[in-house]
Amino acid sequence: MNGYELSRAWFDFSFTNTCKVNPVHSAIFFFAIERCNRLGWKKEFGFPTDLAMEAVGIKNYKTYYRALQDLVEWGFIRWIQKSKNQYTANIIALVKIDDASPQALNKALSGHYTKQDSQQVQSNYRGIASINKPINHKPLNLELINQKPLLEVEKINVEKDQEVYFKWALKFHRLFLKNLEQKGAPLKKTKEAVFEDCVKPIRDMMEKDGVNAAQLQIAYDLLNGQDDFWKGVILDTGKLKEKIGQLIAQGKMPMKEKDMDIRVKDKVRSYD
């Protein structure tokens, strides 16, 4: 089963059932194919409701749910586990049906090809280039991507609901490398750190601990600043998760108080 087989079966069905099918059905089904493809053609996969609605531009949950239910009833999608509400994910499987008759669509398309054939031949002689479909970039499955070095992972391989965690993990990881390089420390271990070890602490901070993007930026600015203490302590996102509270607290200190601390330290040094 592949995307071409699924799309062909769908259009065979929709062409002979025009009174049933509308653009919403096609949009949902083809986004399901796209998600399945990005997950490495898993037999069963999560299909988050809010993600699907946003991707295909559906604003009304009832409209989305009715269309998805139609696709299940028509045999193109199989429900493995239903979501409890619009904020949780369905688990589904794609099904290739073979009972949709292709004859009507084949006849219509062959008639269209006959009408256009002479014009297309003339166009080719005029030097108009043919259209070649690029080879799909097959995304890595989750198990494989988790064990891949973070620096070798491309954004296209990351699921949409993981992109924000990946973005922050990569941002901090590059900062750790920069801080290590400035100290002349070995870089190999940090360069080889895998996706799961780098991204999971960020995800846990944001999902479980309630750390938001603004607070992560505070921590980042502190680790990218003049204070060398934290640069030698926090060299991975696991340690970042452990110390995030202290970093946020220190980063939120009023500027005057920070300046005062620096001046006091300078005076103490002058008396030594």
Last residue of a domain, one of 139, 170, 196: 139
Is the domain of 166 the same as that of 236?
yes
Express each pLDDT in 135-152 by its tens digit: 444 445 567 788 889 998
- The residue that leads in pLDDT, 8 or 122, is 8
Angle, helices 103-125 vs 3-16, to 10°: value is 120
Average pLDDT value for the chain: 80
* 237-251 helix and 213-223 helix, angle to the nearest 10 degrees: 90
Q: Which of 139, 164, 187 is the last residue of a domain?
A: 139
Inform me whether the pLDDT recorded for 264 exceeds 60: no
Top mean-pLDDT range of 84-93, 98-107, 242-251: 242-251
When divided into structural domains, the chain yields a total of 2
For residues 163 and 188, membership in a common domain is answered with yes
- The helix (H) or strand (E) run that includes residue 135 is none
- The answer to whether residue 196 scores a pLDDT higher than 50 is yes
Q: Look up the domain containing 125 and give its range.
A: 1-139
Q: Each residue of 157-170: pLDDT tens digit? A: 888 888 999 999 99
Of 35-49, 155-169, 258-272, minimum mean pLDDT range: 258-272
The pLDDT value recorded for residue 59 is 93
Say yes or no: 230 and 256 in one domain.
Answer: yes
Task: Say what angle helices 237-251 and 163-183 make with each other, to 10 degrees.
Answer: 90
Average pLDDT over residues 179-189: 90
Q: Are residues 148 and 218 in the same domain?
A: yes
CA–CA gap between residue 264 and residue 75 (Å, rounded): 74
Task: Give the torsion sign (CA, 141, 146, 148, 153).
Answer: positive
45: which strand partners? 92
